[in-house]
Structure 1
Amino acid sequence: MTAPAFHITVHGTPGPQGSKNRNAAGALYESSAKVKPWREAVKSAALDVLTYDAAWMPIRDAVRVEIVFSLARPKGHFGTGRNAGQVKASAPQYPTGKPDTDKLLRSTQDALKDAGVLLDDSVVTDTVAAKRYVLTGDDTLSHPGAVIRVWRLNNPKEAAS
């Protein structure tokens, strides 16, 4: 496989986008306060990379997006006393609770669009997403964040020419 068209590492707590609540006046707002800081972190990391590529144009063709979200373990996963800092044997290996992977994808893809990586998030035809605890596997970070890769998909019409 060729190299990704775009690759970044984002530092910060991944925030899900999708669920909305209404305030007393009836206005809608994001239910997660983590959405805005996360989208800004993704946008900032993307713009830092794009600054060095004056010829970059937002991708308008089909892409595959691969993202590994690194989430912090809850405090209850760790021992106490002399075992403080040690993950309990009973702690789950994978994060199965909130945030939902699809909502993390939504906020991240929107941020990639806002940064100018993608013309629109509708160009994403293939996704591979994983949420993991920090330091538990390939592409996981030592702190919350994400590793994001965007791959251009070959256009069969162009390949046949």
Structure 2
Amino acid sequence: MNTRPLITITAYGQPAPQGSKRHVGNGVMVESSKYVKPWREAVKAAALDVRGAGWVSLDAPLVASMVFTFARPRGHYRTGRNAHLLRDTAPARPATTPDLSKLIRSTEDALTDAGIWRDDARVVEYLETSKAYPGEGPLALTSPGAVVRIWLLEQLATTA
């Protein structure tokens, strides 16, 4: 696809899932994960930096892409003088928690809070959603975070 995204947001920090909420009394619910709030704040700050002063929240059918980068665990690396090399058994991609769908959910909510789109329900298609380790793929960052790209659906429909 040769169509440039309408907006590209690069957020750095530890991607965290929008998990379950727990009841703390008097009808108050809080996030189960202490990591989701810092992640959502990082995404919102990155989005606000990119969108600019005259931005109007997107309110049309949208297509999005989200690639989340996670740091490799130390156990993926060899030891001693070969500590910079990956073990033969190190996986190519992070196939462990957190769930990709919950990462998308927390990131979508942060983008809604930042006013990127009126509502995440405007996303009608995802071109790519993935989890990666640094340097493993064209959109993987060099440190933990995410790259979010957004297109208008009509923008892609006219190039097909």
2:107 matched residue in structure 1: 108
Letter in 2 for 1:134: P
Alpha-carbon distance change, 44 to 90 in structure 1, aligned in 2, over 3 angstroms: same
Which runs of 5 or more residues in structure 2 are unaligned? none
Tell me the TM-score normalized by structure 1. 0.87
Q: Distance in 2 between matches of 1:63 and 1:148?
A: 13
SS of 1:111 mapped into structure 2: helix
- RMSD over aligned Cα atoms: 1.9
- Aligned pairs for 1:29-40 within 5 A: 29-40=30-41
Letter in 1 for 2:96: G
1:126 matched residue in structure 2: 125
Matched-pair identity in %:
47
Tell me the TM-score normalized by structure 2. 0.88
Please identify runs of 4+ aligned residues in structure 1 that moved more than 4 A: 22-27
Letter in 2 for 1:150: I
SS of 1:137 mapped into structure 2: coil
Q: Distance in 2 between matches of 1:80 and 1:22?
A: 45
Q: Distance in 2 between matches of 1:144 and 1:25?
A: 37
Which runs of 5 or more residues in structure 1 are unaligned? none
The alpha carbon displacement at 1:80 in A equals 1.6
- Pair 1:8-2:23 in alignment: no
Letter in 1 for 2:62: V
2:148 matched residue in structure 1: 148
Q: Distance in 2 between matches of 1:64 and 1:125?
A: 6
Letter in 2 for 1:78: Y
The alpha carbon displacement at 1:138 in A equals 1.0
Letter in 2 for 1:4: P
- Pair 1:77-2:79 in alignment: no
Letter in 2 for 1:36: K
Alpha-carbon distance change, 26 to 154 in structure 1, aligned in 2, over 3 angstroms: closer
The alpha carbon displacement at 1:23 in A equals 5.0
